Amino acid sequence: MTRLLEVIDLQTHFFTRDGVVKAVDGVSFTLDKGETLGVVGESGSGKSVTAMSIMRLIPDPPGKVVGGDIIFKGDSVLEMTAQQVRSLRGNRIAMIFQDPMTSLNPVYRVGEQIGESVRLHKNASKQEAFERAVELLDLVGIPHPRERARDYPHQFSGGMRQRAMIAMAIANQPKVLIADEPTTALDVTIQAQILDLMNELQDRTGTAIIMITHDLGVIADMADKVLVMYAGRPVEYGSAADVFYNPKHPYTWGLLDSLPRHDVAMKDTLNPIQGQPPSMIRVPEGCSFHPRCPYARVKCIKEEPVLRHTEAEHGSACHFAGDDGFVRGEATACREVS
């Protein structure tokens, strides 16, 4: 069966003055209709670059997809001509960005901008496009959409701008919607509105969503499948239930253990992941997490682990995943990292 979207061993590197940055180094996942994939990782983990690679938006130079493939409905996105990519972008694959303040052009009315994206891909008159924009603004829950469509972006609040961005993204009923930290710049009560809206739109249209975020709460709310990234590499991949309730990589354990919770009482001190995030110029050898991993053994510096599937659809890039007793909360640390 052809998947909707298949990313196979994607490698996107940036050739900078200071050296080669392997921003994405061997990422693979699949996405089907109606699914939400959550991509989680810290800044510099390569999650945004993965999204930009799928959209073919990597600035070249300095960036370049140097390996792997991206298959959308059986066709390689990487082999498409510029013309084909344009008809893909904003049409069958659309994207929402983090900053709602800068992703709308301040000199055009909101309705015109949304209509523009319709006109680019469908043969619609200016009037038809505007009508469609009003319809879309209504769909994303903007009150008085007809009047608000004539407003300029600065007349919109942050939450409303993000709704307008979503309206623009779904204008052509994309098959895949990539959301890159869509709620990070928003307040929690607005974040709840936006997440709700995205869930609702997905139920209605069956759009597949790639949700990129550093917030495990957002992932828990939205994602069916989860990809955890660290230093450009995938470290764990599986269903949301697998990753949250049966994680198999010490980095995922660390992330889950270090989070304070507002809904349950916690013990006095948190369990942070020790050490600092790696420099992307000099990623540690072997397993890139080894300098911060309390379970690291010599093998971890000598051999680079690959994402192994320990059971159907659940994989961990840890040499010891699946070993007896190597379970979150039970495994014993073999060294102290500070």
Partner 1 sequence: MALLKVENLVKHFPVEQGVILSRVGAHVKAVDGVSFEVDQGETLGLVGESGCGKSTTGRCIIRLIEPTSGPIEFEGRNVVAMGRRGLREFRREVQIIFQDPYASLNPRMTIGEIVSEPLGVNKMGTAAEQRKVVQDLLDVVGLNPEHINRYPHEFSGGQRQRIGIARALTLRPKLIVCDEPVSALDVSIQAQVVNLLQDLQDQFGLTYLFIAHDLSVIRHISDRIAVMYLGKIVEVGDYKGLYDAPHHPYTQSLLSAVPVPDPELQRKRERIILQGDVPSPINPPEGCRFHTRCPIAQPVCSQKEPELRDVAPGQKAACHFAKPFPIDLKVAVQKG
Partner 2 sequence: MTNPTSTPPGSNLDPHDSAGHDVRDMYSPLPVAPLEEHALSGPTRTLWRDAWRRLRKNKLAMAGLAWVVLVIAVTLSADLWVPDAFGDPETINTATAAQNYLLPPSAEHPFGTDKLARDVFSRVVYGARISLSVGVIAVFISITIGLIMGALAGYYGGLADVLVMRLADVFLAFPYVLFAVALIAVLGPGYINVFIAIGVLGWPTIARVFRSSILSVKENEYIDAARAMGASDARIIFRHILPNAIAPIIVYGTMATGGAILTEAALSFLGMGVQPPTPSWGLMLSDAKALMQRAPWMMIYPGAAILTTVLSFVLMGDGLRDALDVKMKD
Chain positions contacting partner 2, by CB under 8 A: 17-18, 275-276, 278-279, 282, 284-286, 290-291, 296-306, 334-338
Residue type, position 241, single letter = A
Residue 284: name its binding partner from partner 2, partner 1, none (Cβ under 5 to 8 Å by kind).
partner 2
Query: Closer CB to partner 1, residue 266 or residue 334?
Result: 266
- The answer to whether 148 and 113 have CB atoms below 8 angstroms apart is no
Residue 43: name its binding partner from partner 2, partner 1, none (Cβ under 5 to 8 Å by kind).
partner 1
- The answer to whether 51 and 180 have CB atoms below 8 angstroms apart is yes
- The answer to whether 207 and 175 have CB atoms below 8 angstroms apart is yes
Q: Which of the residues 265 through 324 are near partner 1 (CB under 8 A)?
A: 265-266, 268-274, 276-277
The reply to whether 334 sits near partner 1 by the rule CB under 8 A is no
Residue type, position 49, single letter = V
Give me the least distance between CB of 276 and partner 2, in Å please.
Answer: 6
The reply to whether 196 sits near partner 1 by the rule CB under 8 A is yes
Neighbours of 337 (CB within 10 A): 14
Kindly determine how many residues on this chain lie close enough to bind partner 1 according to the rule CB under 8 A. Answer: 48
Stretch that binds partner 1, among 7-15, 85-93, 109-117, 262-270 (CB under 8 A): 262-270
The CA angle 98-103-107, to the nearest 5 degrees, is 160
Give me the least distance between CB of 336 and partner 2, in Å please.
Answer: 7
Stretch that binds partner 1, among 49-57, 105-113, 251-259, 329-337 (CB under 8 A): 251-259
Q: Report the alpha-carbon distance of residue 93 to residue 4 in Å, rounded.
A: 11
Which of 291-315 are b and which e, b meaning 16 or more Cβ less than 10 Å from the residue's Cβ? bbbbbbeeebeeebbebeebeeebb
What are the C-alpha distances in Å from 128 to residues 33, 124, 142? 28, 6, 19
Q: Which of the residues 83 through 142 are near partner 1 (CB under 8 A)?
A: none
List residues near partner 1 by CB under 8 A. Answer: 42-43, 157-160, 187-193, 195-196, 214-221, 223, 240-241, 244, 254-256, 258-263, 265-266, 268-274, 276-277, 338
